[in-house]
């Protein structure tokens, strides 16, 4: 087992990474403490892992709640249903929610934990690549709204994160590819060596080579932990983790949550961000092509939905959480391994970019 720590003073917590994280019952119990565990999962993950987790915690009288699988269920409606379940079972503050699943389960469970009785502890057990390298770490919890993605939520840190790489062997190829979008993002915003490693190890990663997977997951979590420790609530540096997301969230909202996976939308968004950076003189044409090639080699889209108009992009991007005083702000690469938050992109430049 690999281990690293998200350093947030009294709210610091460990991340465990390995082939047997789901079997680390002793460590899991340490973080549950005297609380009653309530496992939140979805109907894809439940048949695979729920019984094992419930059995390992049987003497703690655990309960489980299963939601449908899909981005469209990360909603206020399902937030209310989980909250009602907790109330119906007289769950108090001595309750520990356990998010067993991907980003939807993790974000939704974390938001319930942040709000239920003004805060109960929760633990992340992410089962998708995207959630393992990104959404399970850092305490961003939220639900979607028809008018915008992740617009209702809270910063609320977990007690611990358990990343079992074996769970990736049951992950559909499309979901694995979606997770690779966030991995590529870390190379672009922070670590050129990671970007090169992803170029050199495409076959190993796609075949789920264990050593390669652990190396990549650990490095992504390490980068995110460093950024979160410096800027927990996204006052500055942490915004760089949103590379590709301004465009990507617009695609998800316009196309309907779940029709484009989050990672797919982010991948297309990173290509747009790279091309916009090129028009500003920050990236060369060859650097943009290198980004496009890597994204496409991991079976991710490099083009936006043909039916989306520039005005539709702008409508959604005007609701982006990074905006200030009505100005859309973008994360753009300034060179490999570095990005910046910019606020001087005009609507016309966006329209010209979309029209390409």
CB atoms within 10 A of CB 136: 31
Question: What confidence score (pLDDT) does residue 198 get?
Answer: 98
Domain boundary among 111, 139, 170: 170
pTM: 0.94
Is the same domain home to 166 and 177?
no
Mean pLDDT calculated for residue range 108-114: 98
Is the same domain home to 205 and 341?
yes
Domains held by the chain: number: 2
Mean pLDDT calculated for residue range 18-32: 89
118 labelled catalytic: yes
Q: Which burial class, exposed, middle or buried, applies to 146 when counting CB atoms under 10 A from its CB (0-12, 13-18, 19+)?
A: exposed
Neighbour-count burial for 327-336, b at 16+ CB within 10 Å, e otherwise: ebbbbbbeeb
Is the same domain home to 196 and 106?
no
- The Cα 287–Cα 301 span in angstroms is 18
Mean pLDDT calculated for residue range 255-264: 94
Residue 54, domain CATH: 3.40.50.1970
Alpha-carbon torsion, ordered 337, 232, 315, 257, to 10 deg: 90
Q: What pLDDT digit, counting tens, does each position of 219-239 carry?
A: 999 999 999 999 999 988 999
Question: What confidence score (pLDDT) does residue 25 get?
Answer: 84
Q: Is 17 helix (H, G, I), strand (E, B) or coil?
A: strand
Question: What confidence score (pLDDT) does residue 235 get?
Answer: 87
Concatenating the DSSP letter of every residue in 162-185 gives EEEGGGGGGS-HHHHHHHHHHHHH
Domain boundary among 170, 187, 217: 170
Question: What confidence score (pLDDT) does residue 332 get?
Answer: 97
**Whats the size of the chain, residue-wise?**
356
Q: Please indicate if the annotation marks 140 as binding a ligand.
A: yes
Is the same domain home to 6 and 68?
yes
Nearest residue to 25 (alpha-carbon basis) of 61, 56, 48, 67? 56
Is the same domain home to 152 and 109?
yes
Q: Please indicate if the annotation marks 71 as binding a ligand.
A: yes
Q: What pLDDT digit, counting tens, does each position of 291-321 carry?
A: 999 999 999 999 999 999 999 999 999 999 8
242 labelled catalytic: yes
- The Cα 327–Cα 104 span in angstroms is 29
Percent of the chain, pLDDT > 70?
100
Question: What confidence score (pLDDT) does residue 147 get?
Answer: 86
The single residue of 238, 278, 316, 329 carrying the catalytic annotation is 238
Is the same domain home to 119 and 192?
no
Residue 193, domain CATH: 1.20.1090.10
Domain boundary among 141, 170, 199: 170
Q: What pLDDT digit, counting tens, does each position of 178-217 carry?
A: 999 999 999 999 999 999 999 999 999 999 999 999 999 9
Question: What confidence score (pLDDT) does residue 253 get?
Answer: 92
Is the same domain home to 144 and 7?
yes
275 labelled catalytic: no
Phi first, then psi, for residue 58 (nearest 5°) are: -55, -40
307 labelled catalytic: no
- The Cα 125–Cα 63 span in angstroms is 16
Is the same domain home to 187 and 239?
yes
The tokens for 177 are 């590819």
Q: Which domain holds residue 249?
A: 173-354
215 labelled catalytic: no
Q: What pLDDT digit, counting tens, does each position of 58-99 carry?
A: 999 999 999 999 999 999 999 999 999 999 999 999 999 999
pLDDT for residue 142 is more than 90: yes
């Amino acid at each position: 087992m690999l281990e690293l720590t998200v350093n947030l003073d009294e709210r610091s917590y460990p991340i465990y990474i390995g082939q047997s994280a789901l079997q680390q019952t002793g460590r899991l119990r340490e973080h549950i403490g005297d609380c009653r565990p309530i496992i939140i999962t979805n109907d894809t993950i439940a048949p695979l892992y729920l019984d094992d987790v419930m059995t390992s915690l049987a003497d703690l009288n655990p309960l489980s709640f299963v939601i449908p699988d899909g981005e469209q269920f990360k909603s206020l409606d399902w937030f209310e249903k989980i909250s009602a379940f907790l109330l119906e079972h007289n769950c108090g503050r001595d309750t520990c929610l356990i998010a067993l699943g991907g980003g939807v389960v993790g974000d939704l469970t974390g938001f319930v934990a942040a709000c239920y009785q003004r805060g109960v502890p929760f633990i992340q057990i992410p089962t998708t690549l995207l959630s393992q390298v990104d959404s399970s770490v850092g305490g961003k919890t939220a639900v979607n709204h028809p008018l915008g993605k992740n617009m209702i939520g809270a910063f609320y840190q977990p007690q611990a994160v358990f990343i079992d790489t074996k769970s990736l062997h049951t992950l559909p190829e499309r979901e694995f590819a979606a997770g690779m979008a966030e991995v590529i993002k870390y190379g672009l915003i922070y670590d050129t060596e990671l970007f090169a490693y992803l170029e050199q190890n495409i076959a190993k990663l796609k075949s789920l080579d264990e050593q390669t997977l652990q190396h990549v997951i650990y490095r992504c979590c390490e980068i995110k932990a460093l950024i979160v420790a410096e800027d927990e609530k996204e006052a500055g540096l942490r915004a760089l983790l949103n590379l590709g997301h301004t465009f990507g969230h617009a695609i998800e909202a316009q196309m309907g949550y779940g029709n484009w996976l989050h990672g797919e939308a982010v991948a297309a968004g990173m290509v747009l961000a790279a091309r916009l950076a090129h028009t500003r003189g920050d990236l060369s044409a060859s650097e943009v092509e290198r980004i496009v090639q890597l994204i496409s080699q991991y079976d991710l889209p490099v083009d936006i939905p043909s039916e989306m108009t520039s005005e539709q992009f702008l409508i959604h991007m005007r609701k982006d959480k990074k905006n200030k005083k009505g100005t859309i702000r973008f994360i753009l690469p300034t060179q490999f391994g570095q990005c910046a938050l910019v606020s001087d992109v005009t609507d016309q430049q966006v329209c010209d970019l979309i029209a390409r």
